[in-house]
Amino acid sequence: MRIARFNEDRIGIVRDNRVLDVTDQLTERLSPAPYSLARRLITEFAAVRPLLEQTASAAGPGDGLPLGQVRLLAPVPDPAKIVAAPVNYRDHQSEMNEAYHISSLGFFLKSPSSILDPEGTVRLPYTDRRFDHEAEFALVVGRRASHVTPEQALDHVFGYTGLMDITMRGGEDRSTRKSFDTFTPLGPWLVTPDELGSPEDVDLELTVNGEPRQKANTSELIWSAARFLSYASTVTVLEPGDVVTTGTPAGVAPVEDGDVVELTVARIGRLRVAVSAEGAVPCPTSGASRGPVPPPAPSHK
């Protein structure tokens, strides 16, 4: 099942390039809560899944809204936390001249307020710093997870999606460099585990202005999605709606004003955003000369 958030915080099932709006049915059945309808759906999915499956199977070819006529929103607008994997592909470790990878680094957190909708605009805050794209395969927690084993971990996943970890290079803390508003494009929707299949064999590719920049398969992860989720659950309780993202492969490079960045994740879909430097100012911190050394920008830049 593909579950999208669209227009004015509505929930739909994506089927044959159409969106079946199930917002009213969910509102009637889900418990009131001080967070988004999407997060409530994730928390109580077991109770409403039969309804959603029945709605999808009963829909005719012309039912629902054409996908091209809706405005997609980030599938989870308000996770309690975003747990991110540093240096989880060996080719990325090499290109960044990093001495260590995930097994020595653990994880870092990104601000949930950095989430950006599909077709949104990444806002570069500074005129004098380098900002890179990072293509990632992400999962969303569906069941509370604490000290789960790798073998148990995927049973706690609600769904999978694409994520871009936009990053300021330098020596500041990772959470600082990756938590600016708009620095976590997320989407285009969530794909449930039964539809995706194995998360250990998923292709992802990122382009900038149509030029290929990053291409990888999740089989190349140093720590698999299951192992990373398991590890994170031994540090902090993972709650329904939390986003766990598995790291970026080689090919990171700068994004600049006017760029269009597209991430395609096999069996999920395409996430596209624009980039703008409007309103950027000089950076007030002095980390530009410190930190890992990124690869040079592509020659055409």
| pLDDT at 96 exceeding the cut of 80 | no
| pLDDT at 94 exceeding the cut of 90 | no
Percentage of the chain exceeding pLDDT 70 = 99
Average pLDDT over residues 59-69: 94
Percentage of the chain exceeding pLDDT 90 = 88
Higher pLDDT, 27 or 90: 27
Average pLDDT over residues 1-14: 97
| pLDDT at 289 exceeding the cut of 90 | no
| pLDDT at 90 exceeding the cut of 90 | no
Average pLDDT over residues 46-71: 95
SS (H, E, C) the chain: CEEEEECCCEEEEEECCEEEECHHHHHHHCCCCCCCHHHHHHHCHHHHHHHHHHHHHHCCCCCCEEHHHCCEECCCCCCCCEEECCCCEHHHHHHCCCCCCHHHHCCEEECHHHEECCCCEEECCECCCCEECCEEEEEEECCCECCCCHHHHHHHEEEEEEEECCEECCCCCHHHHCCCCCCEEEEEEEECHHHHCCCCCCEEEEEECCEEEEEEEHHHECCCHHHHHHHHHHHCCECCCCEEECCCCCCCCECCCCCEEEEEECCCEEEEEEEECCCCECCCCCHHHCCCCCCCCCCCC
pLDDT at res. 290: 80
Average pLDDT over residues 198-226: 98
Higher pLDDT, 87 or 157: 157
Higher pLDDT, 169 or 93: 169
pLDDT at res. 142: 99
Reported as a pLDDT band with limits 50, 70 and 90, residue 298 is: confident
pLDDT at res. 301: 46
Q: In the chain, what are the domain boundaries?
A: 2-73, 82-289
Mean predicted lDDT score pLDDT of the chain: 96
82-289 folds as: Fumarylacetoacetate hydrolase; domain 2 (3.90.850)
pLDDT at res. 300: 56
